[in-house]
Structure 1
Amino acid sequence: MSAGVCRAIPSPPTRGTPLKLLSTLKRCLAAGAVLLVAGGLQPATASAASAATPPVVGGTRAAQGEFPFMVRLSMGCGGSLYAKDIVLTAAHCVSGSGNNTRITATAGVVDLRSSAAVKVRSTKVLQAPGYNGTGKDWALIKLERPIDLPTLKIADTTAYNNGTFTVAGWGAAREGGAQQRYLLKAQVPFVSDATCGRAYDDLVAGEEICAGYNDGGVDTCQGDSGGPMFRRDNAGAWTQVGIVSWGYGCARAGYPGVYTEVSTFASAIRSAAANL
């Protein structure tokens, strides 16, 4: 997430780098990955980031090919293949828009050390117009060549902003820990704006969606930033409804994960991708 800003909330630290308060951190950790903390996922961090959570307790390792659209980015964030040559991630994972050949996308494997991993460099980055650390947490990364893997479609409406979602990533297995070698997965239930707003008074309800358990235990964390939150649509196809964005700590009771609401930005994402 080199030089990206992470939205801050009251201390203690959350999942990334702080914007408003130095004592708060987002879900962007350098060299991070997802980890299922206390039954949930926990991400590591990127160059400018911070903490995660306890050891992997719940969740399971994803099977090879189970989520072929998952991408690991070299700055320590996650992402999804929006198109074969475009990765959708979080705005706080990148440092602005323009030509950029410094990011490497790794795809096609659950084991980051696998010799079968497909690695492709970036050529351009587009950070959401108007992004300032609050809301609008999405970005696109153009790749130098297409990756021949299935893409993940994005939700056009709020019709799928309910039920149980799947999250996956390569994050730290404990707070401050290193990234995980293998892709982990977990499920988290939808949390209403009203409930989530009681935990976070700076929630941008029109642009963010929350998910998690009231008792905590399952969550995304540092290093999972930018990764997708998805579910099956009515036709049984995976559909992305959220982008891992931020939260108060990781897997803490009463503090669900906060995700960019993809349907809110579907039109803007499509337009930006067409011109990238």
Structure 2
Amino acid sequence: MKLSICSQCTALSVMFLSFASSATLTVYAQDKVIAGPKILTIQREFTKPGKEGAAHEKSEAAFVKAMADAKATDHYYALTSLSGRPRVLFLSTYPSFAEIEAERKKVNANASLSAELDRANEADGDLLAETNSSMWMRRDDMSLNQGYRVGARYEELTQFVVRPGHMGEWTELVKLVIDAYKKGVPDAHWGTYELVYGGGGTFLVITTLRSGEEIDSNFAKDPKFIEALGPEGLKKLDALEAACVESRQSNLFRIAPKMSYPPDQLVQAEPEFWTPKP
């Protein structure tokens, strides 16, 4: 059910990127940026072989239609994987856990909507090999110019698992990276989220990207980041990462409007993308 939507220096230079949704519109440089509530929920659906793509998209359309017909206020949008196992991530943001509870109550109180969602879940389940969910809280002290860039077509998600007892070194590592980006690549942007339910000691760094060209451009900025760090900073970065990072994984996703029930702010900012005409 899409309502618990509750995933060397060069490697680290792409670790901090950006995400948020459903709140007020602000501007960094010439970007239109939608900065959102602090709680992020993610539901992951891993499809069976051969069941990804159009088959899953058609199944998800039933959820979107049910939510739209009911004028539901619990919004989400979908990301389809371009790397790793075939999967779709459904993301939503909330200002508080009380708001999550309130949205669930609204759905449960709507018998017609609940029935439609149950039917959609049953059909969707035939396509899935595995599902899981998680809840995250944005760490503004570990983010830089965070926000959803209007016009984005991709998102990069990098997950870090921190070794138990090494949170102090992780915090120092993040500060070192942020300071270097502010100095060498001031237009960099990312949002960092800490896992609060669904695991522990895990951080998710998310960026919104407009095109493959922007991805290439981000990699091309590595020398500026390295120069801003300097030799001693580079040595310190390597030492801190070795001490505190247990694992790191980055993946690229495509934003999937046909599988999404996006918040009004996203639709109003880019209606032709989120609600394309047949």
Instruction: Name the structure where helix makes up a greater proportion of residues.
Output: 2
Normalising by structure 1, we get a TM-score of: 0.27
Name which one, 1 or 2, has greater alpha-carbon Rg: 2
Report 1 or 2 for greater relative contact order, CA contacts < 8 Å, sequence distance ≥ 6. Answer: 2
Normalising by structure 2, we get a TM-score of: 0.27
